[in-house]
Amino acid sequence: MKRRGFLVVLSGPSGAGKNTLLNAVLPRIPDLKYSVSATTRPPRPGERDGVDYFFLDDAAFDAMIARDEFLEWAEFAGYRYGTPRRFVEECLAQGYVVITDVDIQGARQIKEKMPDGVFVFLLPPSMEELQRRLESRGTESAEAISRRLKIALEEVAAIVDYDYWILNNHLEEACEQLVSIIRAERARVCRTDFSTLPLKGE
Amino acid sequence: MKRRGFLVVLSGPSGAGKNTLLNAVLPRIPDLKYSVSATTRPPRPGERDGVDYFFLDDAAFDAMIARDEFLEWAEFAGYRYGTPRRFVEECLAQGYVVITDVDIQGARQIKEKMPDGVFVFLLPPSMEELQRRLESRGTESAEAISRRLKIALEEVAAIVDYDYWILNNHLEEACEQLVSIIRAERARVCRTDFSTLPLKGE
């Protein structure tokens, strides 16, 4: 029996803890691949091209948009970030599970292009906790944090378009939950090719 | 957020190991309830009414059939066995996950009455292994085992109507797989009532 690969899209409000959860779950599942994003942001010290990001210049990013080579893309703080479709599709063709963390707009774009992906919504434990997380990052002003919280409240309504939801109360529990979801999706009849059943007794 | 209960139907060919797997998974999930069957078979030593089975006489069983009170029922070796609908529905209404192990005909009957159940197909590792398991029970003649194997081969084709499949190669792995499926289904957006999101910051 051959199991087909699938894409897991981890999304939710900014500050819900998507990236932390993604990094916690990656080492737990052997055939899980991280979807490497492309970006026009210059590499930070220690970041490796093709591992952390595909680092592109503006012209190369424009060309990929023009050829519809992104599952989703967006601009943050003057730089563009996108999910290259080819990287994902090559991993899926090899039977891997691919995981990406994107914001809710990004998840919406991906759902249009890959409706059979597994869409997981990560809920921050509460708005107070979300505020605390945004503040502890220390990268944003009080006004920016207030704006983010307002957006987060609006975004939570998007949960109805998702397959699964995880409350990020405790990282370990959230991680186990995501592992269970991926393992269960692996066991879906619709994701398996049964042309060779293990029935040698015929 | 309130999570709604659901019914897990564990099915597969006779000898696949359904009952062993069910008994292994029950202690691992706190809110998982075993669906107690009704039967016209007399109790064996140690069996308790309402725990192992609901023991009924023929007239009581007939009456339940007449009132459509079974999710499925069948006759084996001169006795009748059935899944009482009310017991399952009461557990679901309290938010429990209910699990039952039934043969493939039984699963088909349940699917008609509860299409939103979670249907899990347990595959024996191979037909040789299945034969070994049936023989080790010591309750059937060679002819009966041969007949069972033929039926099993035909039954495996039913897998396409199921949501998930588990290969029963190692009990521990199969058990973890079933735990993952139940945990994942617990996390389904469609099985949750989001009327009270934990967003206190408004």
ipTM, two decimals? 0.83
pLDDT of residue B202: 38
Inter-chain CB proximity A165 and B187 less than 8 Å: yes
What count of CB pairs under 8 Å joins A to B?
A: 106
Please give the radius of gyration of chain A, using alpha carbons only, rounded to the nearest integer. Answer: 18
Cα separation of A61 and B55, whole Å? Answer: 70
* Residue A77 φ/ψ, nearest 5 degrees: 50, 40
The single-letter code of the amino acid at B27 is P
Total number of residues shown for chain B:
202
Taking CA–CA distances from B186, the nearest residue in chain A reads A164
On chain B, the residues whose CB falls within 8 A of the CB of A166 are 187
Total number of residues shown for chain A:
202
Inter-chain CB proximity B160 and A194 less than 8 Å: yes
Domain ranges of chain A: 2-195
Cα separation of A159 and B195, whole Å? Answer: 12
What residue has token string 């249009």? A112
Give B38 to chain A, closest Cα distance, Å.
30
Backbone φ/ψ region at A68: left (φ over 0), alpha (ψ -120 to 50), beta: left
pLDDT, greater one: A197 or A55: A55
On chain A, the residues whose CB falls within 8 A of the CB of B118 are none
User: Each residue of A182-202: pLDDT tens digit?
Assistant: 999 999 999 988 766 555 443
What are the start-end ranges of the H helices in chain A? 18-25, 58-66, 85-93, 104-113, 127-137, 142-156, 171-186
Q: Which of B126, B160, B180 faces A184 most closely, judged by CB atoms?
A: B180
Go through A63-102 and write b for each residue having 16 or more CB atoms within 10 A of its CB, e for each that does not.
Answer: ebeeeebbbbbeeeeeebbbbbbebbeebbeeebbbbbbb
On chain A, the residues whose CB falls within 8 A of the CB of B123 are 197-198
Inter-chain CB proximity A123 and B198 less than 8 Å: yes
Considering the segment(s) A2-195 as one domain, its CATH architecture is: 3-Layer(aba) Sandwich (3.40)
Inter-chain CB proximity B164 and A187 less than 8 Å: yes
∠A102-A105-A107 over CA atoms, to 5°? 50
**What is residue A49's DSSP assignment?**
B
202 residues of chain B, pLDDT tens digit each: 678 899 999 999 888 899 999 999 999 999 999 999 999 999 999 999 999 999 999 999 999 999 999 999 999 999 999 999 999 999 999 999 999 999 999 999 999 999 999 999 999 887 677 778 778 877 778 888 888 788 877 778 889 899 999 999 899 999 999 999 999 999 999 998 876 655 544 3
Give B82 to chain A, closest Cα distance, Å.
27
- CATH 2.60.40.10 is the classification of domain B2-193: no
Inter-chain CB proximity A187 and B199 less than 8 Å: no
